[in-house]
Amino acid sequence: MAKTRRNARTLDDRRREGYLSIGEAAEATGVSAKMIRYYESIGLMPKATRTVANYRVYGPEDLHTLRFIRRARDLGFPIEQIRILLSLWQRRRPSAEVKRVALVHIEELERKIRSLDEMRRTLLHLVEHCHGDERPACPIIDELAKP
């Protein structure tokens, strides 16, 4: 126990070492504290360093990783692809591997775009044929109610 106490640091000690609290890390990276905890729980991020009072603190490398994750999420990468990209980033990979992951993601985005466009066209068609008045007949409801 004495050894743990000697090596344990307070939040102020950690701040002097360049660490931030979870709230500060969230603000600095644009990733909510809830998501930071989630990323830790699924192993996307390493477990946070803790203070003697058991507060999570994050150093510059952690912030860099959080920004990487946030950018990947902004581009729509799913968690498992982000896990692969993080691994490739951290081990100085050949860019061909990174490109392969990005191309797979682009294919998935294009599939989603086609699906969304089909939904949009269907809804536009239904809206164009709905009178939008006091009558009960409505092609939108009729389409939704189909067995």
- What per-residue confidence (pLDDT) applies to 2? 38
Are 33 and 22 in contact by the 8 Å Cβ rule? The answer is yes
Query: 10 CB contacts (<8 Å, ≥6 apart)?
Result: 51, 52, 53
Domain 1-93 coded CATH 3.40.50.150: no
pLDDT in tens, 45-75: 999 999 888 899 999 999 999 999 999 999 9
pLDDT in tens, 120-134: 999 999 999 998 888
